[in-house]
Structures are given as structure tokens and as C-alpha cells.
Amino acid sequence: MCQKNNKETTWRKLMPHLNLAATSDWEEFKKFSGPRLLLLHYEEVAKLVSKLQRFGKTHRWTFIAIDECQRLKARGNASSRWASRLRNFADYKLGLSGTPFEQSPIDAWAQLRFIRPQVFGDKWATFKRRYTYASGWMGKKRVFREDRMKRFMKAIEPWCIRVTKEALDLPPYRIIRHDLQMPPKALEVYREMRDRQIVRVPSGEKIRAPLTITRDVKLAQICGGFILGEKGYYWLHDTKIARTAGIIRDSHHPVVVFCRYAPEIQELVGEVFKAGLRVECYTGKTKNKGAVQERFQRGEIDVLICQVRAGGVGIDLFNARTVIVYSAEWSSISFDQLISRVHRRGQVNRVRIHLLVVKSSIDTKIHSRIKSKLRKIKPVLKQLELENVS
């Protein structure tokens, strides 16, 4: 299961001898003889899972590989459930991920339920009892038991291998943090939302955020330069826009910019157009994503503005050496993945990652959380590397 927009740009080139099909070609795939490969999107597997099971009963899948298998880590989500249903219909199974754990080693259970259920057993209750303890409100949060780390590592070591980027001999990348200050009026709006969870925009509309999670979204929007209401978005300041334009002007093209929100992308597109540069967007609504990727790799695009969730996984953008993270999500996995769109196999230049951070704001909290998560999980990944070397 992978990004099917790579069907022609990657898989066809790597395996020209295979009969290749994507989700829409299911009936055609069943008629193929000889070696054949079916590429599926995560979101589409759920629609086909019963058919895939029936096919597996009669023909037996030789090999099922799931790319970005960290998406299985939440044991109750749709991806984790369909992966569990398919696990007994293949001779070989493989999970691929650059960031298999985010919160803690607990993330491994649902992934290994697909890859090798014998490691921790089929039942979450068994793993929960052996490797976690209750914490948080009414004991509903499960925390990994550090005293069981050796046992945990011994269990997964035969079935996991970590290959670091050193194997690719890539040039190093450098992260450059830009600490920015919002103008006074925007800062006033930010503080109003933070402290009172309600602001009035110039049109007279009152924008409320009664829940903490909603408030945090609004604060992140304000850091990006806007706030979204029921009647549309209201632009508040150009702090990040101006810095992004400056970085693009001073950088070797092409440049990749990652944003969380659509209004940020819209405003950036206008700014880049004014500079006379060739700009395209890569969002969840982009049609023919493979064609956009190919144009970028051929150098026909000067600036590619990607929505984090759409352009942060599954595409090759190594024609760029400059990445601008206009706005980041809380996830360390998401952050690591977007960097890897550029710093990956095929990259021959030193890469610069520019982080735009509004000082003393939710931006700083997001980046601190990302750093903290990466620090916590690094020892586990390092141990996997050492186990396989030895």
C-alpha cells in the first residue's frame, strides 16, 4: 500500500517486467498472468479489503508491503483494522517507515500485529498488561514501562531492522530557525484568542474557540497570518509571507514550501506570482499529482507550495535543495517525513530547512514538542540499529 501517484514515476521504472495496476484497475489486475503488482492508496484499501481477502484465499498473495506503516499505530483506526484483516493472506509481509514510533514504543504493537502477530500476540490486553501501566485521568492513559525495555527490544529485534540515511551517502542538511515577531495589532488578536477564546474581526464577526483544541488551531492560524471564521478568512499580517518571499528570492530554485492551511497557500501563491516565478500547489485537491511531481523534478516549477498532509509523504522532490516550513503540525512523524521529501535518495546537494517560528507563541510550543518527541524515541531506534549491526 503506497502512493499510487508513483505508479509511473517510480514503480514502472524500477520493475518494468511486472504487470502493474492501481486500484481503479482491479478487474484488469485479476486477469493478469505472471508477475503482477497492485498499488493501493491507504484510503482506498478499506473499499477493497473484502475482495483482497477473497483473492488471497484462492490465489494467495506472495507479498504485502505497507509503506508509511506508522499509520497503523493507532490500533482502532481504519488502516490498522484492514491491515489486521489481510495479515493471514500473504506469504511475506513488510512494513516500511522512516518514523515507526512517535509517542512511545507502544506504537509498535499494532504495526507488528500485521507484520508478525506472534511477537506480542493478537490481543491488545496481553501487550497492555506486560508492557504498560495506567496513568492520567481515571487511569485511561497507557504509559510504556521503561523497566520492560530490554524485554521489548529482544522481542522485536528479529523482526525489525533500521537502515539509516548513511547508507544513501546523502549530503547533510541544515535546519535554520527564523524567530519572527508579529506586528502589534495581530499580537493583540492573538492574546485575545489565547486568553478569552473569542475575537472580533473587522467585519464585526465574532470568532469563538470554546474548546482548547479549537483555540490552539486558531492560534496557529493567527501565527500564519490569518484567522478563519464562518464567512471566510481574515488576513491579519504578512510576517511569514515576507520572510518566505525573502528566502525564496535568495535561494537556488526550485524551492518547496510546506503549509498547514489553505489560506496560507492562497496568499503565498499571490506573493510568488508577483515575483514572476513559476508556482504550483500540491494539496489534497490537486488533480494528477504525479504530473505535478514530474514537472517539479524536471525543473519546470520554481516554487512548489505543498499542504503538509498532501505533500509531506509519498513524493520525490529531491530536485530542490531548499525547504521552507511555513507552518508545521504537532506530529514529529509529519515533520520528519516532509524533510525526507527533499533529503532522500537522488539528492546531490546540501539541503537547507528553514523553520518559520513566531516568538512566544504556539509555534514555539509545536517545535518544542516535535524536538521532545524525536529525543524520546531516538534511543529506541538507535538500539535497533546497534542490534542489527551486532
**Could you tell me if residue 33 is inside a domain?**
no
Domain of 158 in residue numbering reads as 41-162
CB of 256 closer than 8 Å to CB of 191: no
pLDDT digits (tens, 9 = 90+) for 90-110: 999 999 887 787 778 899 999
* 23-27 mean pLDDT: 70
In sign, the C-alpha dihedral spanning 280, 282, 288, 293 is positive
Predicted pLDDT at 237: 96
Predicted pLDDT at 389: 46
Report whether pLDDT(28) > 90.
Answer: no
On whether both 175 and 323 belong to a single domain, the answer is yes
On whether both 60 and 143 belong to a single domain, the answer is yes
On whether both 230 and 296 belong to a single domain, the answer is no
On whether both 307 and 173 belong to a single domain, the answer is yes
* 54-65 mean pLDDT: 91
pLDDT digits (tens, 9 = 90+) for 43-54: 788 888 999 999
Task: Compute the half-sphere exposure of residue 192: CA atoms within 13 Å on the CB side of its CA.
Answer: 15
On whether both 348 and 265 belong to a single domain, the answer is yes
On whether both 172 and 299 belong to a single domain, the answer is yes
On whether both 176 and 325 belong to a single domain, the answer is yes
The interaxial angle of helices 239-250 and 262-274, nearest 10 deg, is 50
Strands 255-259 and 303-307: parallel
Predicted pLDDT at 380: 66
**Could you tell me if residue 389 is inside a domain?**
no
**How many H helices and E strands in the chain?**
15, 16
Query: Would you place residue 1 in the very low, low, confident or very high pLDDT band (cuts 50, 70, 90)?
Result: low
Predicted pLDDT at 138: 82
On whether both 201 and 285 belong to a single domain, the answer is no
C-alpha cell belonging to residue 35: 508477475
Lowest-confidence pick of 12-21, 225-234, 341-350? 12-21
Residues 6+ apart with CB under 8 A from 139: none
Query: Would you place residue 357 in the very low, low, confident or very high pLDDT band (cuts 50, 70, 90)?
Result: very high
The pTM assigned to this predicted structure is: 0.77
Predicted pLDDT at 7: 60
CA distance 166 to 311: 24
CA distance 338 to 73: 19
pLDDT digits (tens, 9 = 90+) for 327-352: 999 888 888 888 989 998 889 999 99
Whether the link from the prior residue into 172 is cis, omega within 30° of 0, is: no
Predicted pLDDT at 390: 45
pLDDT digits (tens, 9 = 90+) for 154-201: 999 889 887 777 778 889 899 999 999 999 999 999 999 999 999 998
DSSP code per residue over 145-203: -GGGHHHHHHHHGGG-----GGGGTPPPEEEEEEEE---HHHHHHHHHHHHHSEEE-TT
Query: Would you place residue 381 in the very low, low, confident or very high pLDDT band (cuts 50, 70, 90)?
Result: low
Q: What is the 3-state secondary structure (H, E, C) of 299-320?
A: CCCCEEEEEHHHHCCCCCCCCC
Predicted pLDDT at 82: 93
In sign, the C-alpha dihedral spanning 382, 148, 77, 209 is negative
On whether both 50 and 142 belong to a single domain, the answer is yes
CA distance 183 to 48: 51
On whether both 209 and 269 belong to a single domain, the answer is no
On whether both 229 and 144 belong to a single domain, the answer is no
CA distance 10 to 14: 6
The residue type found at 262 is A
**Could you tell me if residue 17 is inside a domain?**
no
CATH number at residue 264: 3.40.50.300
Q: Looking at the 3D structure of the chain, how many domains does it have? A: 3
C-alpha cell belonging to residue 144: 510504556
Rg of the chain in Å (alpha carbons):
23
Query: Would you place residue 312 in the very low, low, confident or very high pLDDT band (cuts 50, 70, 90)?
Result: low
Residues 6+ apart with CB under 8 A from 58: none
Predicted pLDDT at 267: 94
